[in-house]
């Protein structure tokens, strides 16, 4: 991390956008999931909000949880190196059950909007 990146990190800001991480919330397919349900695991770890920027519900609704200038907070150790370089999109549900057409359509539109704003970003994660 260079000096500029360290300063941004100390200020609680994302210092660059290199990646969009698309991860499932690992919730049962037919379970209703509220904003509170999505925020609770992050609140329990000391965050004031959910750790992801956007959530895509089974209805295709895109819910904003964190402003884009703030870093993500990943619960899984394998992603903890990415918060200050990635936007994080949470697909409500789990990859074993799959995600529906409304969610995939909403994700496609959101990725297009984010790439228009930040350039050609790498998209990765257990959903994408």
User: What pLDDT digit, counting tens, does each position of 9-49 carry?
Assistant: 434 677 678 889 898 888 887 777 888 888 887 778 777 77
Distance CA 11, CA 24 (A): 28
CB 86 within 8 A of CB 15: no
CA distances from 23 to 31, 55, 95 (A): 17, 10, 9
pTM of the model: 0.80
Determine the pLDDT at residue 48. 72
CA dist 96 and 28 (Å) reads 10
pLDDT tens by residue, 83-109: 567 898 999 998 888 899 999 999 999
Picking from 75, 77, 100, 79, the residue whose alpha carbon sits closest to that of residue 25 is 75
What average pLDDT score do residues 48-75 get?
84
> Residue 55 — very low, low, confident or very high, per pLDDT cuts 50/70/90?
very high
Task: Say if CB 93 and CB 99 are below 8 A apart.
Answer: yes
Q: Residue ranges of the domains in the chain?
A: 3-124
pLDDT of residue 9: 41
User: Which of 58, 20, 23, 55 lies closest to 38 in space, CA to CA?
Assistant: 55
Of 3.20.20.70, 3.40.80.10, 3.30.360.10, 3.30.1330.30, the CATH number of 3-124 is: 3.40.80.10
Residue at token pair 């956007």: 54
């Amino acid at each position: 991390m260079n000096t500029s990146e360290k300063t941004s990190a100390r200020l609680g800001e994302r210092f660059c956008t290199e990646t969009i991480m698309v991860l499932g919330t690992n919730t049962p397919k037919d379970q209703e999931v509220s904003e509170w349900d999505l925020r609770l695991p992050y609140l329990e770890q000391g965050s004031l909000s959910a750790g992801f920027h956007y959530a895509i519900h089974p209805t295709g609704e895109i819910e904003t949880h964190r402003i884009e200038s703030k870093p993500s907070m990943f619960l899984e150790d394998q992603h903890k190196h990415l918060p200050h370089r990635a936007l994080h999109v949470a697909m409500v549900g789990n990859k074993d059950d799959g995600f529906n057409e409304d969610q995939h359509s909403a994700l496609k539109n959101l990725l297009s909007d984010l790439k228009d704003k930040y350039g050609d970003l790498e998209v990765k994660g257990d959903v994408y």
